[in-house]
Amino acid sequence: MPDEEVTPPTVAQVEATDRAMPPYIRAVIVTLAGSGLRIGELLGLKVSDVDFKAGAIRVERQRLQSGTIGPPKTAKSRRTVPVGEVVTDALLTHLAARPSKEWLFTMEEGEPLNYRRWKTEWNCARRTLQAAENEAAEREGRKPVELPHMVTHDLRHFYASALIAGGAIVKQVQLVLGHASAVITLRIYAHLWPDEEDRTRTVMDAVLGGLRTGCGQVGDATRVIAGQTA
């Protein structure tokens, strides 16, 4: 188990963050959420790293917080990540609006997007969302809800949790996330996988579903007959 269980953001939270971003980097959100890349890996992407036909992103480098380019975090971090049309379409739209021959994401001035600018825009978007909630609460005469704390790395957790919910095995999640070992993957995300007892119940219910009695729900009276409390 991890030292502290991660709680991935919801789809609604990811979508809201996407809408709050300025147009020139809005595609960053869907790319991170749809690929699980670390922010440094994304900032180090070149246009040539995206295979739009195959639907894949190749991670060959990362942009460090100093702004310099370095190798990926570990040997396993150098990888090819399959991505869907939602990501590739977002990137094609991004490049149509902001053509670039080298770096995939650039600042408004044309320079490569860096950590400092990204962090500034991220924090601004989060403040914008909270301000919108505060204004809505005032209009509706209620107490505003404090939005959950959310950092960029949570989009990586979102991606991993979506894969796990979709039935991905540990090894596949490890490979696409670029973890050095499956142990790391399990330490962070073990609580998101169903345990073996749950998996056994689900599998056998699927196999024997045709033998289900009645509407498939056991009432309280039936449990009492069986000697069990509801």
Tell me the domains of the chain and their CATH numbers.
1-193 (1.10.443.10), 196-230 (no CATH)
Task: Tell me 226's DSSP state.
Answer: T
pLDDT for position 207: 80
Under the banding of pLDDT at 50, 70 and 90, the label for residue 116 is very high
How far is 162 from 151, CA to CA, in rounded Å? 18
Integer Rg of the chain from CA: 22
Q: Is the pLDDT assigned to residue 216 strictly greater than 60? A: no
Pairing of strands 79-82, 50-51: unpaired
Q: Which residues face 70 on adjacent strands?
A: 62
Enumerate the β-bridge partners of residue 50.
57
| Bridge partners (DSSP) listed for residue 81 | 57
For range 44-69, the mean pLDDT: 97
Least confident interval from 41-50, 143-152, 187-196, 219-228: 219-228
Q: Give the closest residue to 59 by CA, choosing from 70, 68, 151, 67.
A: 70
Determine the pLDDT at residue 221: 55
* Nearest to 40, CA basis, from 27, 59, 19, 17: 59
Residue 227 pLDDT grade (very low, low, confident, very high; cuts 50, 70, 90): low
Position 1 scores a pLDDT of 44
Contact 23, 54 (CB under 8 A): no
131 pLDDT above the threshold of 60: yes
**Is 2 a residue whose pLDDT tops 60?**
no
pLDDT at 215 over 70: no
Question: Mean pLDDT, to the nearest integer, of 72-91?
Answer: 96
Instruction: Check residue 220 and give its pLDDT.
Output: 60
